[in-house]
Structure 1
Amino acid sequence: MQLAPVTNAFTIDVEDYFQVSAFAPYIARSEWDLRECRVERNVERILDMLRRREVRATFFTLGWVAQRYPQLVRNIVAGGHELASHGWDHQRASDFKPQGFYEDVYRAKALLEDIGGVPVVGYRAPSFSIGRTNPWAFEELERAGYRYSSSVYPIVHDHYGMPEAPRFAFDATGRGFIEAPPTTLRLGSRNLPSSGGGYFRLLPYGISRWMLRHVNEAERQSAIFYFHPWEIDPEQPRVAGVGRKARFRHYLNLQRMEARLERLLADFRWGRMDHIFLGTAVTNA
């Protein structure tokens, strides 16, 4: 008997090119308002792509962006997509103490709900910055009214990662608060990143497709794919003084990204995070 296709989560981290963590040493937050913002036009291109494919997605949106571009938020909601939180201004969760983190995620949630007119129940930490040093973050998210997070990346990485974490959705607090990690493929004793971002631009498309198909067909699990609006924008301004590694990671294959996304949308079944993971049976961490 042929099994039904698994529905995967298509997610977008709504931030502009100058807000990425790798550029933090080169661009102060006080300079953000002086930079050319391109997030609004890029999100509109993504919304058009999803409309053509009849796909509903989850947009993890910065409060900073929502405050300046409220119509962008309304357009996300009008398209039938899930509006979720990426915190206020892309400060890593690991840089906060518990009360400060609570205030950041509560502030972002309140603004998004006020503009979008819908409940905001999902959160993704900037740079996947929840891990072994700050498990208290789940308690603070729950206190702020969130129901799930997608913030723990179970890989080895120089900026983030918790490779010993569960690979699939789990109860992070013992009270039903779900952590749904970005997708990895288990190969030997290592987890390989398989969920998008720079890896999706670096690897040949066929490898990314094979990884996601393995998770769907062999493990019968929903995959979580993510990317950023600036990744479909090869004409974005270049940031001066950026180190070689950060420059390579950020600008690699931007010109190929949109066509690859079109293929990805055609090759898999996609949906919103809240529709896929809330109400799903999960295991305790």
Structure 2
Amino acid sequence: MQTSTTRPATPGKIRNAMTIDVEDYFQVSAFAPHIARDSWDGMECRVERNVETILALLRERDVKATFFTLGWIAERYPQVVRAIVDGGHELASHGYGHLRASDQSRDAFREDITRSKALLEQISGQQVLGYRAPSFSIGKQNMWALDTLHEAGYRYSSSIYPIAHDHYGMPDAPRFAYYPNGKDGLLEVPITTVRMMDRNFPAGGGGYFRFFPYAVSRFFINKVNRDDRQSGIFYFHPWEVDPGQPRQHGVGLKTSFRHYVNLERMETRLRALTRDFAWDRMDRIFLQNT
């Protein structure tokens, strides 16, 4: 695999990328064995109110972000897409139906990413440049997906997490933005990690942000900005600001803990995060000089 690294332009204070994966609580991969896909339309959907909460928080802090949005959500709630765009945020793709890229054939993956891109562009009237695979499901076994994304008209992906995890991860991948197949191909922007003790530690949000004290995330992002002189990429989901969401039973202790731990603290921590660092959209940080 040919790789070519890129360093984002960061005049003055380094800007980090704030990203939101727009999916509802019943669509998370960990619940897939317990919630049938064909039951989604009958579930209580809470994504509208949760995205409104996030947009209000970002507006209050004057932060622009990138929203990786499911086509399934956009199709049923086009007003959510329009609110994101009207707020000055970047609209990007999270695929159509939250299927892992690693569980799809090339043809099925191509259809999924093409369908979601066309749908988001039709609703928003804006070009969609970015993609994030559900559950960071691009890795060594399906690197062909990056070429397929490029062929479909995407300019960047944020789908590889360079950590060891029981559900995803490619720990030997580059830690910062790079071109896996040279500068004529797709730019991959990995979720942020810190390198300590010959190991990559997750520093880009998700359940780790809720589980560990906020000071840990602040330290890690500061370290990346100060020592690596790189922009961090932070991500979270609308359901993470919703402690009142319907609880799922029979999903197992580990899954339940990962999903529900400290949901009630999420908004407070996000406010601290937006206060302590400079934030912007993925496209403005990583594509302006490419």
TM-score normalised to structure 1 length: 0.97
The one-letter amino acid paired with 1:24 is A
- Partner of residue 46, structure 1: 54
Provide the secondary structure at the position in 2 that maps to 1:133: helix
Provide the secondary structure at the position in 2 that maps to 1:192: strand
- Partner of residue 9, structure 1: 17
1:184 is the counterpart of 2:175: no
String of CA shifts for 1:119-154, please: whole Å, max 9, x gaps.
000000000000000000001000110000000000
1:173 Cα deviation after fit: 2.4
Q: Give me the CA root mean square deviation.
A: 0.9
The one-letter amino acid paired with 2:197 is G
1:93 is the counterpart of 2:109: no
2:152 aligned residue (123, 144, 160): 144
String of CA shifts for 1:237-258, please: whole Å, max 9, x gaps.
0012111100000000000000
2:230 aligned residue (216, 221, 237): 221
2:205 aligned residue (178, 196, 207): 196
- Partner of residue 74, structure 1: 82
Please list, as runs of the form range in 1=range in 2, the aligned pairs for 1:113-262 lying within 5 A after superposition.
Answer: 113-174=121-182, 175-262=184-271
CA–CA distance in structure 1, aligned partners of residues 140 and 289 of structure 2: 25
Aligned sequence identity (%): 65
CA–CA distance in structure 2, aligned partners of residues 117 and 259 of structure 1: 33
CA–CA distance in structure 2, aligned partners of residues 187 and 28 of structure 1: 40
TM-score normalised to structure 2 length: 0.95
1:272 is the counterpart of 2:281: yes
- Partner of residue 6, structure 2: none
CA–CA distance in structure 1, aligned partners of residues 145 and 191 of structure 2: 17
The one-letter amino acid paired with 1:248 is F
Provide the secondary structure at the position in 1 that maps to 2:80: helix
The one-letter amino acid paired with 2:51 is V
Could you tell me whether the CA contact under 8 Å between 2:150 and 2:185 is conserved in 1?
no
Could you tell me whether the CA contact under 8 Å between 2:194 and 2:203 is conserved in 1?
yes
1:189 Cα deviation after fit: 1.1
Provide the secondary structure at the position in 2 that maps to 1:218: helix
Could you tell me whether the CA contact under 8 Å between 2:147 and 2:185 is conserved in 1?
no
1:207 Cα deviation after fit: 0.8
1:280 Cα deviation after fit: 4.5
CA–CA distance in structure 1, aligned partners of residues 249 and 221 of structure 2: 36
The one-letter amino acid paired with 1:139 is D
The one-letter amino acid paired with 1:250 is H
The one-letter amino acid paired with 1:117 is G
CA–CA distance in structure 1, aligned partners of residues 56 and 103 of structure 2: 35
- CA change 1:280–1:185 in 2 (3 A) is farther
The one-letter amino acid paired with 1:191 is N
- Partner of residue 24, structure 1: 32
